[in-house]
């Protein structure tokens, strides 16, 4: 398990800025559509800013885990998003048809009422070993859609997944699981 501080509103209303969550570690085959995950985006979403981090190496990873538990920011590029597609999926979205995976509409109860699934249409096929991720706050999320033209096409390597968001422990009035918003 590992603790993370949520700095942005990209996952509102499911997870709010300032929330603190606990993430359970998972294996590569354990990621499914709808999961809320934390992943290391230093080589994908933040590749241009990649520099060696304190968490590189065994000792560094141990110290990084301790720092994360204490909410000490090491400047790494961890992201929290929802999995929309896994390897082999064709993920499409249009303002009229909404989000679809392999031609089937995706029910997204986590989207705030009145939120459109996408403003800009896309049609991608997710390579094996990769994930296509979206923020629940579609209008304010730099997710896979924002990186479609980047090397890797905005797809997150499964090996970069830190784990599933298990529960929120801060603020106290919102402590608990993600409920219907979990996926």
Q: Which residues are catalytic?
A: 10, 81
The answer to whether the beta carbons of residues 126 and 86 sit under 8 Å apart is: yes
Q: Burial letters for 130-168: b for 16+ Cβ neighbours within 10 Å, e otherwise?
A: bbbbbbbbbeebbbbbebeeeebbbbbbbebbbbbbbeb
Torsions phi, psi of 137, nearest 5? -95, 80
35 C-beta neighbours (distance < 10 Å), count? 20
Pairing relationship of beta strands 156-157 and 90-94 according to DSSP bridges: unpaired
Distance CA 4, CA 15 (A): 12
């Amino acid at each position: 398990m590992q603790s993370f501080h949520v700095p942005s509103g990209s996952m509102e209303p499911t997870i709010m800025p300032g929330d603190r969550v606990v993430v359970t570690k998972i294996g590569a085959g354990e990621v499914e559509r709808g999961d809320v995950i934390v992943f290391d985006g230093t080589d994908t979403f933040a590749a241009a800013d990649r520099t060696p981090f304190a968490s590189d190496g065994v000792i560094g990873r141990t110290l990084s885990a301790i720092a994360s538990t204490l909410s000490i920011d090491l400047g790494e590029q961890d992201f929290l998003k929802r999995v929309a597609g896994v390897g082999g999926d064709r993920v499409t979205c249009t303002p009229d048809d909404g989000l679809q995976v392999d031609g089937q509409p995706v029910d997204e109860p986590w989207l705030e009422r009145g939120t459109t699934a996408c403003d800009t249409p896309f049609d991608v096929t997710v390579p094996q070993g990769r994930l296509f991720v979206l923020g629940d706050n579609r209008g304010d999320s730099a997710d896979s859609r924002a990186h479609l033209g980047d090397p890797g096409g905005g797809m997150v390597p499964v090996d970069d997944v830190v784990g599933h968001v298990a529960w929120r422990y801060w603020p106290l009035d919102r402590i608990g699981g993600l409920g219907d918003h979990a996926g």
